[in-house]
Amino acid sequence: MQQTDLSKARARHMRRKMTPAERALWSALRNRRFLGLKIRRQVPIGPFIADFYCADHRLIIEADGSGQGSQRDIERDHWLSQKGFRVLLLPNRDVLTDLPACLEAIAALAPDH
């Protein structure tokens, strides 16, 4: 998918300004630390920027502030699923209080690892 200079710049900015939950999750996922999966952070995909993306499984992992799923989240998830992506929404609260359970949820969507 075509990336614009604006989306690349916005993704770069978001990498520098990660939330505490995103930092905790990134610490567990980076450098193939988790199941050997290659996961990138703040990746432009179409009109959206995915918090984390595993291309091998077309899996997008979103650390969400409320965990409630805003209208924007619903629209994003629908658009991405139409393009063949799977989206896992992890509430920030869960990432910060029970990271192992969040990692188990990710592992369940990457079954061959």
5-108: CATH homologous superfamily?
A: VSR Endonuclease (3.40.960.10)
pLDDT of the residue at 16: 65
pLDDT of the residue at 65: 65
Q: Which residue has the tokens 């505490």?
A: 20
DSSP 61: E
Classify burial at 109, counting beta carbons within 10 Å of its beta carbon; exposed 0-12, middle 13-18, buried 19 or more: middle
Q: What is the mean pLDDT of each run of 10 residues along the chain (113 residues)?
A: 60 70 95 95 90 95 74 86 94 96 95 69
pLDDT digits (tens, 9 = 90+) for 20-42: 999 999 999 999 999 999 999 99
Q: Which residue has the tokens 């869960």?
A: 94
pLDDT of the residue at 111: 74
pLDDT of the residue at 66: 58
Ordered by start, the domain boundaries in the chain are 5-108
Look up the pTM and report it: 0.81
pLDDT of the residue at 112: 74
pLDDT of the residue at 25: 96
